[in-house]
Amino acid sequence: AREIPLARQPNQFSKMEAEICERIERARRNDPTLIMLNLGGRGIGYEGICEVAEVLKENNVLERLNLAGANVNKAAMVALTASLKINTTLQKLDLWRTDIGSEGVVVLSDALLVNASLTVLHLGFCKIDTVGAVALADAL
């Protein structure tokens, strides 16, 4: 999947890219009708994940975030988990089929120690070994 740079001018976006940016902007504005942000399989990449992470710091509406199949790796997880330490409304996070691996799960586990709102995690096919599983179990 290719990464979508979010800083381009609107007329340069494909229809899918424009749709992604519109969803992220709605989340940034705390749109009360947007309780699920579905970015799964959209190829938003590291920059997009960082953008979503910044939005999560201020958002108090989103309850579900789907990043399944997105280009999420350990570096992206660092940005995302920093936001999860602050966000108090997100309840479900789907990271199915991402490349976070055990290193990303260890970072995520640190956020879970302080985040009480996140109650559902989808981590299937994330290349998590025993180290990651133990860190996750300890956080829960």
- The series of mean pLDDT values per 10 residues for the chain, 140 residues long, is 47 68 94 96 86 96 96 92 97 96 96 96 96 95
pTM for the predicted model, two decimal places: 0.87
Q: What is the DSSP string of 37-105?
A: EE-TTS--HHHHHHHHHHHHHH-SS--EEE-TTS---HHHHHHHHHHHTT-SS--EEE-TT-S-HHHHH
pLDDT at residue 55 in the model? 96
